[in-house]
Amino acid sequence: MTERRLALRRSDFCANCGVELHAGTSGWWDSELRTVRCESCHNGVLRNANFGSDRAASSAKEARAIAPKRSGIAGRSANEEYERRHLAREARIDAKFGKFAGVIKFLTNDPQSITAWKKGSVGERKLAASLEENLGTRAILLHDRRVPGTRGNIDHLVIAGSGVWVVDAKNYSGLVQLRDVGGFFKIDNRL
Instruction: Name the band, by pLDDT with cuts 50, 70 and 90, for residue 49.
Output: very low
Tell whether the model's pLDDT for residue 70 goes beyond 60.
no
Residue 77 pLDDT > 80: yes
Concatenate the DSSP letters of all residues of 94-162 into one string.
Answer: HHHHGGGHHHHHHH----HHHHHHHHHHHHHHHHHHHHHHHHGGGSEEEEEEE-TTSS-EEEEEEEETT
Strands 45-46 and 55-56: antiparallel
Q: For residue 80, name the pLDDT band (cuts at 50, 70, 90).
A: confident
Categorize the per-residue pLDDT at 1 as very low, low, confident or very high, splitting at 50, 70 and 90: low
Question: Average pLDDT in the 129-150 region?
Answer: 85
What is the rounded distance in angstroms from the CA atom of residue 15 to the CA atom of residue 66? 12
Model confidence at 58, pLDDT cuts 50, 70, 90, reads very low
How does residue 57 score in pLDDT terms, banded at 50, 70 and 90? very low
Q: How many CA atoms lie within 13 A of 191 on its CB side?
A: 3
Q: pTM of the predicted model, to two decimals?
A: 0.54
Is 50:79 a contact under the CB 8 Å cutoff? Answer: no
Q: Model confidence at 148, in pLDDT bands (50, 70, 90)? A: confident
So what's the pLDDT on residue 68? 44
Where residue 98 falls (left for φ over 0; alpha for ψ -120 to 50; beta otherwise) is left
Amino acid at position 26, single letter = S
